[in-house]
Amino acid sequence: NVISVTEKQLVFEKLHALLERGKPRDFYDLYFLLRARLPMPQKKEVFPKVLAALKEKDMNFEAELKQYLPKSHWAIIRDFKTNLEREINRFI
């Protein structure tokens, strides 16, 4: 059996995880969803919270994400905060 969720449910769950847990992989998931151009409901309420969390958290994204990502994605995480902010600002 395969259980699937709608795109809307997936986005909601990923944003919820990011705002509740706030681990580097949660921020990367958002980056990936934005690059995939998935619809972002309630972005006007959520994105300011995401940007605030991104600025207040002192995380080493590169060190924490390298273990999960293939080398082809390492360039993205070198300056990840800037890359994610750029993607978010494209949607605001």
Residue 63 phi, psi dihedral angles, 5° rounding = -65, -40
pLDDT in tens, 41-51: 888 899 999 99
Give the position of tokens 């309630």: 42
What's the whole-model pTM score?
0.91
What is the number of alpha carbons within 13 Å of residue 65 lying toward its C-beta?
25
Q: Are the CB atoms for 91 and 43 separated by under 8 Å?
A: yes
The per-residue pLDDT for range 7-36, each reduced to its tens digit, is 999 999 999 999 999 999 999 999 999 999
C-alpha distances (whole Å) from 50 to each of 3, 5, 39, 40, 70 are: 28, 23, 16, 13, 25
